[in-house]
Amino acid sequence: MAALGARLALGGSEASSARARTEQIVIEAQPIAAFDKMDPAKTRFGKLTWRGGLVLTSPSVRFGGWSGLEIDAQGQSLLAVSDGGAWMRAELVYDKDRPVALASARLGPLRARSGRVLLKKRQVDAEGLTFVKGTPAKGAVLISFERNHRIGHFDVDAKGLKAPRSYLKLPKAARQLSGNRGIEAIAILRGGPYEGSLVAIAERLKDAAGDHTGWLWVKGKPHVIHLTDSDEYDITDATALPDGGLLVLERRFRWGEGVKTRLRLVRQRELHPGARIAGEVLLDANMNNEIDNMEGLAAHAGAGGQIIVTMISDDNFNRGLQRTVLLQFVLDGADLARSDAQP
């Protein structure tokens, strides 16, 4: 527990980027039979229904540290970025609706604008990922980095993630970000009055009221927003919903309880410049559940108005104590509508 706490606070050691090259990798997947270790028959957790999960391992020394996640509209292809300076693309394999494997996995290095492979930890620490357009096979994404705080615009093609073609101008308040507490959560809104706008939230940048600081870009200009901080959770990721809302992933570590994971719903009407957002807690999980250091979050539409929520953990390249777990849940359209109807 002490080692885990130190790595969550300081960041683990990543695999050497000197070996960085784009290559096919093998990923072994062990199914997670139940999310609740104490009650294996339980499938309902808050407003989420358990769909399935996997413990992922690979012989590749560069596999791990997954901190940002995106999935295509069909839920079949994923793209992830690592705080060790790598990207990964893979196909999700299902048995009916249950994830059972990752196939056709390809891993490569993150690059500078010059095309050179990023080597230093200060440069490679990717934390957030969101689609601008397209899919993991062809399109464009934004990636947020901490330590050297920046948000880059990257194209994606059949070979993988290309060198960044530009960086966003960050708001002045971003100068207050500490080295290892940068912009962890980014998402481009998919609907509502701010469709196409970027939302970015720092892991732990508190305002005068003690709440989390983020920004909403409107017509290219960042406007500050605030997300209430209850129970001292850190922000680890966010993903956009089709209606213009947002899901926010949070983590807390304490020596006496270990790691906790929380998922919060931010409704479309709560998102506007200057907003102070409370949202609604959809899931609150602890070490009685099959979680680890959950840092990546994605969502795609399922049948009948369902939202399929996928999470992945950052093992800090600490395979002796931590795991890479991929979890999937269903948020029912009716539950989402009831949530949206609340004041």
CATH number of the domain within which 71 lies: 2.115.10
pLDDT per position as a tens digit, 208-224? 999 999 999 999 999 99
pTM to 2 decimal places: 0.93
> What are residue 288's phi and psi, to 5 degrees?
-80, -10
Q: Which residues pair with 150 in a beta bridge?
A: 145
Residue 148 has pLDDT above 90, yes or no: yes
Residue 195 has pLDDT above 60, yes or no: yes
pLDDT per position as a tens digit, 286-301? 999 999 999 999 999 9
Number of domains in the chain: 1
pLDDT per position as a tens digit, 244-281? 999 999 999 998 999 999 999 999 999 999 999 999 99
Per-residue pLDDT band for 139 (boundaries 50, 70, 90) equals very high
> What CA–CA distances, in Å, run from 184 to 125, 138, 214, 296?
10, 24, 10, 9
b/e 123-144 (16+ beta carbons within 10 angstroms → b): bbbbbbbbbeeebbeebebbbb
CA distance 332 to 160: 33
Per-residue pLDDT band for 283 (boundaries 50, 70, 90) equals very high
pLDDT at 180: 83
Per-residue pLDDT band for 17 (boundaries 50, 70, 90) equals very low
Domain hosting 123: range is 2-341
pLDDT per position as a tens digit, 72-107? 999 999 999 999 999 999 999 999 999 999 999 999
The DSSP annotation for 198-259 comes to EEEEEEEEE-TTS-EEEEEEETTEEEEEEE---TTPEEEEEEE-TTS-EEEEEEEEETTTEE
CA distance 258 to 298: 24
pLDDT at 304: 86
